[in-house]
Structure 1
């Protein structure tokens, strides 16, 4: 069986969220519809932003996060942190050491969590 993994992030405004993620990732969408926009992250991995999926759903706590795994070690992580902070990205937890290495946590405009961590 051939499969790919699509991480779906629920957002209020798909075009606005796509601009945010496109700027953070430095890439453009691979698929765009009015309420669903996807980014090809490489072989077998996509990030999709899906709007208009909240009607009739109970409020659910956010229990997951998108993780951007980067090369380059702690210096690269600090550079990403400084860049994101300078552009006004909401930072939830500044760079710190965790069991898997240096990391920080940010949020998109809808409150979805974005972790930056070292690549395994």
Structure 2
């Protein structure tokens, strides 16, 4: 059985997006090329930024998927991450609230790609 091992996010400005995601997730890229920047998030699993389809990334394009960050521990960890990211000035798309899977909120990267934070399990 083969599992997905690359999660590709379309961006318009690689340099700006590398700075955003490096700061937000406190991670550094494996390598940097002019249009493709991978971050190894687990052994053999990449989260990558790609500007090869930048013309398709427009503000009016509906976003139908999200990058997810599931936090271990108490649900208050989600509240703490919300406060931390809000202090950084990220764009909040969905305010902090309770949903069927627990405490959650959604922010957007500079290109409007969605990032959801929720509890693990």
TM-score computed with the length of structure 2 as normaliser = 0.88
Residue of structure 1 in register with 2:113 after alignment: 112
Provide the aligned C-alpha RMSD in A.
1.9
Deviation of 1:6 after TM superposition, in Å, equals: 1.0
Distance 1:92 1:58 in 2: 17
| Number of residue pairs matched by the alignment | 119
Residue of structure 1 in register with 2:46 after alignment: 46
Deviation of 1:74 after TM superposition, in Å, equals: 1.6
Runs of 4+ with >6 A deviation: none
Distance 2:112 2:16 in 1: 13
Deviation of 1:43 after TM superposition, in Å, equals: 2.8
Question: Kindly tell me: are residues 53 and 92 of structure 1, through their superposed partners in 2, closer, same or farther at Cα, counting changes over 3 Å?
Answer: same
Deviation of 1:100 after TM superposition, in Å, equals: 0.9
Q: Deviations over 1:61-107 (max 9, x none)?
A: 32101001111222111111001001100001111111111110000
- Listed as ranges, the gaps of 5+ residues in structure 1 are none
Residue of structure 2 in register with 1:13 after alignment: 13
Question: Kindly tell me: are residues 6 and 118 of structure 1, through their superposed partners in 2, closer, same or farther at Cα, counting changes over 3 Å?
Answer: same
Confirm or deny: 8 A CA contact 2:10 2:57 kept in the other structure.
no
Confirm or deny: 8 A CA contact 2:107 2:115 kept in the other structure.
yes
Confirm or deny: 8 A CA contact 1:8 1:50 kept in the other structure.
yes
Q: Quick check: 38-47 or 100-109, which moved more?
A: 38-47
Question: Kindly tell me: are residues 58 and 84 of structure 1, through their superposed partners in 2, closer, same or farther at Cα, counting changes over 3 Å?
Answer: closer
* Secondary structure of 1:48 counterpart: strand
